Amino acid sequence: MKFSKKQNCINCVLKCDIYSTLLSTENSETCNEPVHAHLKKHDVICRQGTEVTHALFLVKGSAKLYIEGLNHRNIILYILKPPAYIGLLSFFESPYYSYSVTALEESEVCFIELSLVKKLYIENHDLLLSLNKAFGKSVAMIMQKIISLNQKQIRGRIAENLIYLSEFHHSHKFCVSLTRKEIGEMAAISEENTVRLLTEFSKEKIIATKGRNIEILDMSLLKKISEVG
């Protein structure tokens, strides 16, 4: 992970809520100004079990948020794209991350010292509200994920995640930065079965794949498969 030399927020391509709060409160503490980091693919942004010291804001690129389970098996909860608070779920308490985040491509992340955020958080109500909003959204999503992982069969789970990826890319035709194994980790199924199901869907003309390019041909059928389980 390469940190850029104290890039000032003014030059940042994406202004976050924290920035606008900083402006309005005219905070003089320039010492703990947000630090801008450039990340390469596979770079770890935060690691499950380590201490939460900064608020993380994804400025550019994309990243996967996942929990590291037993026997080195991961479950990807969702994919992040800017603008997104990364460290959100573990903001105040708990002191340790309960998940990991890794860059899926070249990305930029802003590291904001937690002490600064806490200060702003208490002074500024709008910041508080916008952070809390994102909070609640994530939780609702995780609840759906639990149901899906437990009560749908792999066919339905893969269908669901293909729809998710399509919505994520705002298109029926997209190129994922995920390996087959990682697509499997989104649905908590084995790599082999992931491949098998993608081939199956292709044969059934529901999707078309060419390497990491995926096109959804029959979205309504895919949705039906996802709903059935």
Partner DNA sequence: GTTGAACATTGTTATAAATCAACTTTTTAC
Partner DNA sequence: GTAAAAAGTTGATTTATAACAATGTTCAAC
Site residues (vs its own copies, CB under 8 A): 67, 69-71, 73, 75, 89-94, 96, 98-99, 121-122, 125, 128-129, 132-133, 135-137, 139-140, 142-147, 149-152, 188, 229
CA dist 98 and 148 (Å) reads 20
Cβ proximity to DNA, 55 vs 186, nearer residue: 186
Of the candidate residues 196, 215, 217, 221, the single one contacting DNA (CB under 7 A): 196
Q: Does 181 bind DNA (CB under 7 A)?
A: yes
Alpha-carbon span 171 to 155, nearest angstrom? 21
- From the list DNA, its own copies, none, which binds 44 (C-beta under 5 to 8 Å, kind-based)? none
- Which CB sits closer to its own copies, 7 or 74? 74
Residue 159 to residue 85: CA distance in whole angstroms: 27
Q: Which is nearer to its own copies, 24 or 151 (CB)?
A: 151
Q: CB under 5 to 8 A by kind: which of its own copies, DNA, none does 10 bind?
A: none
Q: From the list its own copies, DNA, none, pick the one residue 143 interacts with, judged by a Cβ distance below 5 to 8 Å according to partner type.
A: its own copies
Radius of gyration of the chain (CA): 19
Closer residue to its own copies, CB minimum distance, 137 or 224: 137
Q: Count CA atoms within 13 Å of residue 171 on its CB side.
A: 8
Stretch that binds DNA, among 27-35, 52-60, 108-116, 191-199 (CB under 7 A): 191-199
Query: Which residues touch 186 (CB under 8 Å, ≥6 apart)?
Result: 76, 161, 164, 178
Our CB check for DNA shows the closer of 130 and 209 to be 209
Neighbours of 113 (CB within 10 A): 17
Tell me how far, at minimum, the Cβ of 80 lies from its own copies, in Å.
16
DSSP conformational letter for 205: T
| Beta-carbon contacts of residue 190 (< 8 Å; ≥ 6 apart) | 184
3-state helix, strand, coil in the chain (%, to 5): 45, 25, 30
**What's the min distance (Å) between Cβ of 169 and DNA?**
16
Cα separation of 44 and 42, whole Å? 6
Spatial CA neighbour of 54 closest among 16, 85, 11: 85
Please say which residue, 11 or 150, places its beta carbon nearer to DNA: 150
208 binds, among DNA, its own copies, none (CB under 5 to 8 A by kind): none
CB 106 → DNA: shortest distance, Å?
Answer: 12
Judged by the rule CB under 7 A, the positions of this chain that interact with DNA are: 152-155, 179-181, 188-193, 195-196, 198-199, 209, 211-212
